[in-house]
């Protein structure tokens, strides 16, 4: 028995020692060489991409657990897909415990880096960029983990995505920090996800800075527990260049942070400034913003079609506190419904924080339950505007309120998100 | 004396098996053989004449692969068979193999002019589960060699109208095989389901239902009397909805199903889906990006032109087109069927 143990121990050790470093260089055969390395890699191996420009005609994919893909820096190791002929993304990862570090993915026809169903995906100091600037023909997402757990996106740069630079969808336990997202339609988007910390990021020159969304008819919905803090969400001033049909296509240029249909979201200690439509918007999900505001009954009917009847289209338990606000609403993007309605209702006096006020009918009359109330505190001289949808719907005069006092409840801080991070990071 | 006989019979068996039969170890072994012939699936490999116990089969509705033709074979180890599973392919035991050769005729108008074999994909049932890999035929058409990382084949064929059609044919890499063949993260066969095998075939001894033939050959075990059979999407005798749903089930529904790779989209096109929103009817895209084509819904009843589903079938641009891999040409006949189906939907 002891012999067996020793034997097993040796096997284990030898496996540890056998972790290989596979070095790949740019060249005409690199498509096949790198793809073969990605398929033949063993758990524990590192695929080293030396500095240089790598040209690919097809997408790449990794399906082996515990592999590191390591470049020589996001300005030095460049995976270019400008000549891409097939493949829906640049790099697809479908395995667990994967570290992607120090390289760039440029000009993919679809998404830059997509990760499906991974437990443990760590994207460190990467760059995803469409080099021709904001264009509707750019790929949708820069960094795109979906249906994943233990997600870390740290020190990355995303530029030019026609949907979101950083997009985490239907995932659990997420940290997005120290990133720069600029000239995307949405800088950072957390969608249908549970437990996310988004902090120390800069979201600038996007159409919308940071979005926390929840959408119906998906395997995972009911997005909740998202903390957005210490971010700089400034000067988001790029015209929305998303192809229509996508939900972000409705985001007005000049929106700082949008919370849609999530629960337990805490927005604090951010610097939010220079957003021409509005610094923060808190809204319900609707098929279009017009319908959200004018016809809640329509949506109730729609809801019957949802797979999960529990889908809750309204934001609840939202806390906004201790943020530093600068200019807001000086250049509303009236092409977009939400901005047009806001501009109309505010009579030119645009707020820092906007709430569409849409709730289940009963709550619109009697108010939200105590523990679901919107709470706002210590936001300096930030201004506020909420719609009274009942008045709005029946065209009763003055359907808005600007009073913040009634929302000054007690802050109940959400607990920090913890994720499993491998030792080598 | 007995021992000598036994050794002799082993030797005889070994010789005959290496010459005329499938090499079982090549299927279940850890390493993939480097060349296709090492499996022994064929008596005459370049003519695709199968060995004993390697049975050809056909499917009612098939996956579009850039108009390529396919020959399909199934091998089940001696004394074993595949058991019926509801809504799934027959459960072929460890040691089984599914073999599929892709080719173009030189000229569709005259098949005598010969074939251009592209690749032979194999699904091998090892102890650890199914594994998929492809073997690419050489220029001389004498042998196919393993291509783990896939390959691009620039070729062409002459179609029924006499036009030469150039094609950038992609042999999938090992990971891409998994895109369609995985359910809940496990690789599984998807073709030989009872509902897609249930058709009459011309055999040497006459016309026979394929399931009955396979049952008699002991390739499969018994199956229920009643199950839904998929229709041939090209057969105009069937209602347009059945034809469209058959095509979508086979070409989209292996990823677009709650247990498939594309389940995060909420668009489910598998054979059994009945919920209109998940079939895409007035369903907003989730993460389609420019795949939306500036349209709002996957399917707009009565308006094929503004339906994202059709837009993505018509496109050949990576990042827009669907399926994501395995297609570089437009499947015109399918677009016509899907358009008719969407047009036929009532606006309510």
Prediction ipTM score: 0.90
Nearest-angstrom CA–CA distance, A228 and A257: 9
Residue B321 in any domain: the answer is yes
Return the pLDDT at A244. 83
3-state secondary structure of A223: coil
Return the pLDDT at A15. 53
pLDDT tens-digit series, residues B23-49: 999 999 999 999 999 999 999 999 999
Specify the pTM: 0.91
Of B258, B288, B325, the CB nearest to A219: B258
Beta strands in B16-78 (DSSP E): 42-44, 49-50, 54-57, 69-75
3-state secondary structure of B38: helix
| B245-263 CB burial, b ≥16 within 10 A, e <16 | bbbbbbbbbbbbbeebbbb
CA of residue A391 relative to chain centroid, distance:
34
Determine how many CB atoms are found less than 10 A away from the CB of residue B299: 24
Which residues in chain B are closer than 8 Å to A169, comparing Cβ atoms? 264, 286-287
Nearest-angstrom CA–CA distance, B87 and A271: 54
Cβ-Cβ pairs closer than 8 A, A with B, add up to: 143
Return the pLDDT at B272. 93
> Which residue among B160, B181, B216 closes a domain?
B216
Q: Is B90 exposed, middle or buried (0-12, 13-18, 19+ CB in 10 A)?
A: buried
Return the pLDDT at A261. 95
Which residues in chain A are closer than 8 Å to B296, comparing Cβ atoms? 244-245
Q: What residues form DSSP beta bridges with B183?
A: B186
Which residues, numbered 376 to 395 in chain A, qualify as contacts with chain B under a Cβ-Cβ cut-off of 8 Å? none
Token pair 């070994």 is at which residue? B14
Judge if B205 and B257 occupy the same domain.
no
Q: List per-block mean pLDDT (blocks of 10 residues) for chain A, which spans 425 residues.
A: 48 62 96 96 97 97 97 98 95 98 98 98 98 95 98 98 97 98 98 98 98 93 97 98 89 98 97 98 72 36 49 94 97 94 92 94 87 95 91 80 91 96 86
- Asked if residue A349 lies in contact with residue A384, where contact means CB atoms within 8 angstroms, the answer is no
DSSP β-ladder status, A232-234 and A271-273: parallel
Q: What angle do CA A350, A269, A100 make, to 5 degrees?
A: 110
Contact A94 B284 (CB under 8 A): no
Q: How far is B97 from chain A (nearest CA, A)?
A: 22
Return the pLDDT at A287. 55
- Asked if residue A93 lies in contact with residue A105, where contact means CB atoms within 8 angstroms, the answer is no
Residue A417 per-residue DSSP state = P
- CA-nearest residue to A34 within chain B is B149
Residue B230 in any domain: the answer is no
Rounded alpha-carbon distances, angstroms, from residue A357 to A247, A283, A370, A387, B123: 20, 7, 15, 5, 56
Residue B115 per-residue DSSP state = E
- Asked if residue A116 lies in contact with residue B262, where contact means CB atoms within 8 angstroms, the answer is no
- Asked if residue A158 lies in contact with residue A136, where contact means CB atoms within 8 angstroms, the answer is no
pLDDT tens-digit series, residues B161-175: 999 999 999 999 999
Is residue B344 over pLDDT 50?
A: yes
Q: What is the mean pLDDT of residues B246-270?
A: 95
Return the pLDDT at B307. 97
Higher pLDDT, A291 or B186: B186
Nearest-angstrom CA–CA distance, B226 and B195: 10
Contact A63 B290 (CB under 8 A): no
Token pair 């109330």 is at which residue? A373
Which residues in chain B are closer than 8 Å to A245, comparing Cβ atoms? 284-285, 288, 292-297, 308
Which residues, numbered 111 to 170 in chain B, qualify as contacts with chain A under a Cβ-Cβ cut-off of 8 Å? 148-152, 168, 170
Smallest CA-to-CA distance from B51 within B40, B66, B39, B60 is with B40
Smallest CA-to-CA distance from A86 within B214, B43, B302, B153 is with B153
| A263-275 CB burial, b ≥16 within 10 A, e <16 | bbbbbbebbbbbb
Return the pLDDT at A17. 56
Residue B331: domain span: 240-344
Rg value, chain B, Cα: 22
3-state secondary structure of B9: helix
Judge if B245 and B137 occupy the same domain.
no
Which residues in chain A are closer than 8 Å to B264, comparing Cβ atoms? 116, 146-147, 169-170, 218-219
Tell me the DSSP string of A287-352: SSHHHHHH-HHHHHHHHTT-SSTT---S-EEEEEESPEE--BSSS--TTSHHHHHHHHHHTT---S
Contact B318 A111 (CB under 8 A): no
Helices (H) and strands (E) in chain A, counts: 7, 34
pLDDT tens-digit series, residues B105-150: 999 999 999 999 999 999 999 999 999 999 999 999 999 999 999 9
Residue B300 in any domain: the answer is yes
Cis peptide before A332 (omega within 30 of 0): no
Judge if B252 and B121 occupy the same domain.
no
Is residue B17 over pLDDT 80?
A: no
Tell me the DSSP string of B141-163: SS-EEE-TT-EEEEEEEE-TTS-
Nearest-angstrom CA–CA distance, A374 and A263: 10
The residue count for chain B: 348
A78: its two tokens: 């460049």
Q: What is the mean pLDDT of residues B211-219?
A: 96
Residue B221 in any domain: the answer is no
Residue B11 in any domain: the answer is no
Q: How far is B271 from chain A (nearest CA, A)?
A: 18
A48 and chain B in contact, CB less than 8 A: no
Return the pLDDT at A290. 33
Judge if B204 and B246 occupy the same domain.
no
Contact B173 A35 (CB under 8 A): yes
Nearest-angstrom CA–CA distance, A328 and A350: 7
Nearest-angstrom CA–CA distance, A147 and B49: 45
Judge if B137 and B278 occupy the same domain.
no
Contact A35 B149 (CB under 8 A): yes
Residue B226 in any domain: the answer is no
Domain boundaries, chain A: 110-407
Residue A200 per-residue DSSP state = S
Which element (helix H / strand E) includes B26? helix B24-28
Residue B225 in any domain: the answer is no
- Asked if residue A126 lies in contact with residue A93, where contact means CB atoms within 8 angstroms, the answer is no
B264 and chain A in contact, CB less than 8 A: yes
The widest CA-to-CA distance across chain B, in whole angstroms, is 84
Return the pLDDT at A311. 87
Q: How many domains, chain B?
A: 2
């Amino acid at each position: 028995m002891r012999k067996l143990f020793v034997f097993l121990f040796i096997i284990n050790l030898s496996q540890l020692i056998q972790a290989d470093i596979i070095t790949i260089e740019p060249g005409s055969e690199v498509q096949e060489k790198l793809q073969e390395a990605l398929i033949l890699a063993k758990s524990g191996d590192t695929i080293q991409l030396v500095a240089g420009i790598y040209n690919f005609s097809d997408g790449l994919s990794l399906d082996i657990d515990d592999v590191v893909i390591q470049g020589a820096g996001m300005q030095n190791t460049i995976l270019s897909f400008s000549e891409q002929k097939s493949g829906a993304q640049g790099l697809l990862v479908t395995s667990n415990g994967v570290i992607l570090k120090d390289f760039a993915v440029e000009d993919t026809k679809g998404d830059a880096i997509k990760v499906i169903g991974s437990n443990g995906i760590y994207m460190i100091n990467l760059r995803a960029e469409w080099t021709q600037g904001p264009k509707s023909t750019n790929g949708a997402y820069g960094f795109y983990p979906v249906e994943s757990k233990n997600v870390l996106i740290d020190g990355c740069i995303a530029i030019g995505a026609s949907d979101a630079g950083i997009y985490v969808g239907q995932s659990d336990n997420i940290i997005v920090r120290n990133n720069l997202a600029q000239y995307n339609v949405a800088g950072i988007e957390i969608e249908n996800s549970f437990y996310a910390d988004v902090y120390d990021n800069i979201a600038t020159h996007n159409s919308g800075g940071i979005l926390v969304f929840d959408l119906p008819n998906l395997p995972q919905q009911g997005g909740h527990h998202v903390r957005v803090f210490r971010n700089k969400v400034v000067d988001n001033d790029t015209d929305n260049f998303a192809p229509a049909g996508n939900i972000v296509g409705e985001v007005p240029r000049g929106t700082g942070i949008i919370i849609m249909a999530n629960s337990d979201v805490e927005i604090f200690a951010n610097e939010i400034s220079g957003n021409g439509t509005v610094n923060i918007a808190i809204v319900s999900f609707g098929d279009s913003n017009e319908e959200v505001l004018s016809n809640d009954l329509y949506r109730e009917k729609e809801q019957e079609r949802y797979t999960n009847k529990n889908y809750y289209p309204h934001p609840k338990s939202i806390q906004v506190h201790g943020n530093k606000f600068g200019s807001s609403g000086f250049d509303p993007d009236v092409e977009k419904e939400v901005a047009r309605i806001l501009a109309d209702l505010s009579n030119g006096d645009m707020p820092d924080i906007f709430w569409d006020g849409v709730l289940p009918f009963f709550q619109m009359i009697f108010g939200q339950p105590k523990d679901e109330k919107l709470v706002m505190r210590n936001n300096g001289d930030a201004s506020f505007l909420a719609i009274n949808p009942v008045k709005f719907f029946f065209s009763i005069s003055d359907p808005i309120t600007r009073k913040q006092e009634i929302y000054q409840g007690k802050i109940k801080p959400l607990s920090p998100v913890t994720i499993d991070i491998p030792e080598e990071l | 004396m007995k021992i000598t006989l036994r050794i002799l019979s082993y030797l005889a068996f070994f010789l005959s098996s290496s010459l005329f039969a499938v090499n079982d170890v090549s299927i279940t072994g850890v390493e993939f053989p480097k060349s296709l012939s090492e499996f022994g699936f064929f008596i005459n490999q370049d003519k695709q004449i199968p060995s004993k116990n390697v049975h050809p089969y056909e499917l009612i509705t098939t996956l579009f692969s850039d108009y390529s033709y396919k020959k399909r074979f199934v091998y089940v180890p001696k004394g074993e068979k595949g058991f019926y599973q509801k809504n799934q392919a027959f459960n072929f035991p460890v040691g089984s193999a599914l073999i599929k050769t892709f080719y173009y005729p030189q000229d569709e108008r005259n098949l005598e002019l010969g074939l251009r074999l592209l690749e032979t994909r194999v699904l091998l049932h090892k102890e650890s589960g199914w594994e998929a890999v492809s073997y690419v035929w050489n220029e001389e058409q004498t042998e196919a060699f393993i291509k783990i990382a896939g390959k691009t084949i620039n070729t062409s064929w002459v179609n029924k109208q006499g036009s030469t059609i150039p094609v950038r044919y992609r042999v999938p890499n090992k990971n891409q095989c998994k895109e369609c063949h995985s359910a809940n993260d496990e690789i599984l066969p998807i073709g030989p389901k009872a509902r897609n095998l249930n058709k009459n075939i011309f055999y040497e001894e006459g016309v026979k239902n394929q399931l009955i033939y396979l049952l008699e050959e002991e390739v499969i075990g018994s199956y229920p009397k009643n199950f839904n059979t998929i229709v041939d999407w090209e057969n105009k005798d069937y209602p347009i909805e059945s034809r469209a749903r058959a095509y979508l089930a086979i070409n989209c529904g292996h990823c677009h199903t709650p247990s498939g790779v594309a389940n995060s989209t909420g668009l489910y096109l598998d054979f059994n889906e009945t919920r209109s929103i998940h079939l895409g009817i007035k369903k907003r895209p989730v993460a389609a990006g420019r795949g939306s084509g500036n349209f709002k819904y996957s399917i707009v009843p009565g308006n094929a032109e503004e339906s994202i589903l059709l837009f993505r079938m018509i496109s050949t641009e990576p990042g827009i087109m669907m399926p994501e891999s395995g297609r570089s040409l437009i499947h015109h006949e399918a677009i016509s069927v899907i358009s008719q189906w969407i047009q036929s939907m009532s606006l309510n």
